Structure 1
Amino acid sequence: MNHSIYSADRMTHLKVVIVALVAGIFVAGFGISARMNADEGYSQTASARVIKAGQPVAVTTSNASMVR
């Protein structure tokens, strides 16, 4: 058995190309179907509620522990 792609015969190259093509089609199909399902209810429209910034707040203390 030869493990080099350079010295492989024509059928081995064809099998590699076919497997890569099928995998690429599967990944593209999965991405397209996931994208189509993600649009339900999450799209932004012009009639969406606008959130405006309030007054600025200064944070002077923190309860976070310091890690060194």
Structure 2
Amino acid sequence: MNHSIHSADRSTHLKIVVVALIAGIAVTAFGIAARTNADYSQTASHAPVKAGKPVVVTSSNGSMVR
């Protein structure tokens, strides 16, 4: 068994790549399976929200230097 990645042979490198690939596929499959399947078809039937009149917001909490 090789304890250093620098002195590892070709088969050890191949094993590391295969394990990393399997782990990546497992994480991806878990992420796809865990997502919520929300039904957005009902939200598209509502009327859109329209913008109202413009509003100006000001404040004068700072000190004025002349």
Alpha carbon RMSD of aligned pairs, Å? Answer: 2.5
CA 1:62/1:25 → structure 2, altered by over 3 Å: closer, same or farther? farther
Choose 1 or 2 for highest CA Rg: 2
Q: Relative contact order (alpha carbons < 8 A, sep ≥ 6): 1 or 2 greater?
A: 2
In structure 2, what is the equivalent of residue 55 of structure 1?
A: 53
Counterpart-to-counterpart distance in 2, 1:62 and 1:32:
51
Query: What is the percentage of aligned positions where both structures have the same residue?
Result: 57
- Alignment-mate amino acid for residue 40 of structure 1: A
In structure 1, what is the equivalent of residue 9 of structure 2?
A: 9
Task: Report how many aligned residue pairs link the two structures.
Answer: 58
In structure 1, what is the equivalent of residue 26 of structure 2?
A: 26
Q: TM-score scaled to structure 1, two decimals? A: 0.61
CA 1:40/1:46 → structure 2, altered by over 3 Å: closer, same or farther? closer
In structure 1, what is the equivalent of residue 64 of structure 2?
A: none
- Structure 1 residue runs of 4+, over 4 Å off? none
Structure 1 residue ranges without an equivalent (≥5): 64-68
1:57 positional shift: 0.4
